[in-house]
Amino acid sequence: NRVCNFVTFNPNESNPGNDIRIVVPKLEPNTCIVPDSFRLSYEFKNENTKSRFMNNLGKLVCERLMIRVGGEIVYDNNGESLIEVYKDLWKMSTKRANMIEYWIMNENTRKLLSKDDTADQTGKTDGDYDLVMAKVYKEQKMKLGKILNDHGPYAPYNMKSGFEYTITLPKADKIMVAQANEKVEGYTLKNIHLEYETIENEELAKRVNEGYETGRSLSYEHTTLLKTTVWLKNATRFNETIDVPRVSMMAVVLLFRKRTITDSEEYVFPSIEKVKVTIEGKSNAVYSQGLTTEDFYDEAKRLFGIANNTCNDDINVRKFYKDKFALVIDLRAVDDNHIVGSGKKLLGDNPGIPLEIETDTITEDILCNIFVLSDGLINISEKPLQGISY
């Protein structure tokens, strides 16, 4: 039997800066959670009529994501929204067009849902489409279940190491933009509730439990915002060091933003001309001639395109360098994210990875956000957590 479950939070409202804690429910002995059905739903209430939320609110409201298994932290990324919004840009336009329930939509629909008084209430912008979408999708969805969704049905009843997700909401000015000469005042998430699907099947639940009893490893992509640095106007050379130990480092990703953000999907290109990567004292270790301008698009596509099982033609070279840029240092031996452990091992006395970056003169101060992506592994034996590595 398939059942759609709705669990209301108490309290069921939250504001900027607050944490929302979601514990995966225990359920009944013969019940399994359906993969990819775990979602948080809520209504977004703007505090004034002079502002609106930016695109992809479903990812923007999760500024930081922390995941615990059996009380142990297995994932903690305080730049979650920044990199997840970027990943979504590489999804095919046909897929993005159907992500309205996660609030990827045109500007007028976002105005309508934000109660922005400059919204076109007549439907002239796009026929009646905007008005219909604002009515149908007044509740927003946020996908949960990272790690959990990638490993088939989950039967939590007998598990000694349960999953827990904590979401930190961002300040309003990080996800909203105001009209000219106006300001953002804030927002509230209302009617917060959890949605998930379950299957009641004794044989399926038994098989799932047996897997965790004998021992099972759950692989996942571990992402960390290592640091954010300021690249000053008129500078032409920057040095960054990636100095965290990792068993299997998949990639280093640098995302660049303006100091004041008015477009959640704008990732600027800071006129980088060449990048020198040093690993274990060996210069140009990954790219024998250094990483140059003509390589940047292919490297980003190698990581993000394949990660979404697609090559999104909408992110062409022109758009990539205009406002969808990412500097990617891909450290995997093979460009397949389903193969775990092909990243670079950096442990012990390893000095890290120095990056020497040469640019043409940049015309304004920008923020450089440095992410480290690694292969994560959770080991569960006889149902309790036995170990974590990344």
Task: Give the pLDDT score at 383.
Answer: 63
Task: Give the pLDDT score at 312.
Answer: 59
Q: What region does 301 belong to: left with phi over 0, alpha with psi -120 to 50, or beta?
A: alpha
User: What are the tokens at 290?
Assistant: 């250094």
* CA atoms lying within 13 Å on the CB side of residue 62: 28
Task: Give the pLDDT score at 82.
Answer: 98
Task: Give the pLDDT score at 387.
Answer: 79
Cβ contacts of 176-181, under 8 Å, gap ≥ 24: 176/46, 176/51, 176/52, 176/53, 176/54, 176/114, 177/51, 177/52, 177/54, 177/262, 177/263, 178/50, 178/51, 179/50, 179/51, 179/116, 179/118
pTM summary value: 0.93
Q: How many whole angstroms separate alpha carbon 343 and alpha carbon 330? A: 9
Contact of 96 with 88, CB cutoff 8 Å: yes
Q: How many whole angstroms separate alpha carbon 42 and alpha carbon 57? A: 12
Q: Is the peptide bond preceding residue 11 cis, with omega within 30 degrees of 0? A: yes
Please name which of 128, 201, 148, 113 lies closest in space to residue 24, comparing C-alpha atoms.
Answer: 148
Task: Give the pLDDT score at 216.
Answer: 80
Q: How many whole angstroms separate alpha carbon 156 and alpha carbon 191? A: 26
- State in Å, rounded, how far the first CA of the chain is from the last one: 37
Q: How many whole angstroms separate alpha carbon 25 and alpha carbon 3? A: 14
Q: Is 129 helix (H, G, I), strand (E, B) or coil?
A: helix
* Count of CB atoms situated within 10 Å of the CB of 374: 24
Q: How many whole angstroms separate alpha carbon 133 and alpha carbon 85? A: 21
Cα–chain-centroid distance for residue 18?
19
All structural domains of the chain: 1-214 (2.70.9.10), 220-389 (2.70.9.10)
Per-residue pLDDT tens digits for 9-26: 999 999 999 999 999 998
Per-residue pLDDT tens digits for 358-386: 999 899 999 999 999 999 999 887 667 77
Phi, psi values for residue 23, rounded to 5°: -105, 130
Residue 159 CB-density burial (10 A; 0-12 exposed, 13-18 middle, 19+ buried): buried
Residues of the chain with pLDDT under 50: 307-309
Per-residue pLDDT tens digits for 55-107: 999 999 999 999 999 899 999 999 999 999 999 999 988 888 889 989 999 99
Contact of 77 with 102, CB cutoff 8 Å: no
- Please, where are the H alpha helices in the chain? 57-60, 80-89, 93-97, 107-114, 129-136, 202-214, 296-300, 306-307, 317-323
Task: Give the pLDDT score at 308.
Answer: 47
Contact of 204 with 1, CB cutoff 8 Å: no
Contact of 93 with 173, CB cutoff 8 Å: no
The residues that bridge with 20 in the sheet, in sequence order, are 167
Residue labelled with tokens 């007044």: 138
Task: Give the pLDDT score at 215.
Answer: 77
Residue 200 CB-density burial (10 A; 0-12 exposed, 13-18 middle, 19+ buried): middle
Please name which of 16, 354, 48 lies closest in space to residue 179, comparing C-alpha atoms.
Answer: 48
